[in-house]
Structure 1
Amino acid sequence: MVYNICFYDSEKDAVVVTDMDGKQLVIDCKKAETQVVFDEPEDAGILARFAREEPAGYVGMAMRPGGLQDYVDVWNELNKR
């Protein structure tokens, strides 16, 4: 079994995943979000909160093409109702 530790590093503004061998994957949030288009500028907080509260989910979405944009689009659609 492979164990992962996943957390948000506020000093780096990055999500860090560490495997059981100590190897790290670092997702720089600013770089991962460069192509995301927000309906409103304050919507950037959606992804900041996602990275802090669900770092493993953030990594999963960031690794998919268009994943973070899809997350923001769905969030906005759900909150229009």
Structure 2
Amino acid sequence: MKQNKPCYLFGMYEPDTNSVIVNALNNTYTGTPLTISCKKCNSSVLLDTPDDIAYLYRLAQESPLLYAELACKPNGLQEYVNAMNEFN
């Protein structure tokens, strides 16, 4: 059976609300924006140093769709921060 996964068309970081807003579309989801609070999502991530929060804010600002995808996955943002720490 085919699932109706949303197709994310557009995403942007909204600095006034510190959130990522994503518009999606599929057969049953007709484009109502999805708003993801960065403050709430980022608060669940364990940081090695307080400066590591910059990885998440930069991701939200420069790649909001990737941020939204990772925020919707269990441990997605945590794994991203862990990977960034490995590279740096």
TM-score scaled to structure 2, two decimals?
0.82
Ranges in structure 1 where 5+ consecutive residues have no aligned partner: none
Structure of larger gyration radius: 2
SS of match in other structure, 1:58? helix
Q: Tell me by how many angstroms 1:33 deviates.
A: 1.3
User: Distance in 1 between the 2:20 and 2:36 partners?
Assistant: 5
Q: Tell me by how many angstroms 1:35 deviates.
A: 1.4
SS of match in other structure, 2:43? coil
Aligned length: 78
TM-score scaled to structure 1, two decimals?
0.88
Ranges in structure 2 where 5+ consecutive residues have no aligned partner: 1-6
Q: Tell me by how many angstroms 1:19 deviates.
A: 3.1
Runs of 4+ in 1 over 2 A off after TM superposition: 19-22
User: Distance in 1 between the 2:39 and 2:9 partners?
Assistant: 23
Q: Supply the AA of the counterpart residue of 2:35.
A: V
User: Distance in 1 between the 2:55 and 2:8 partners?
Assistant: 28
Q: Match of 1:71?
A: 80
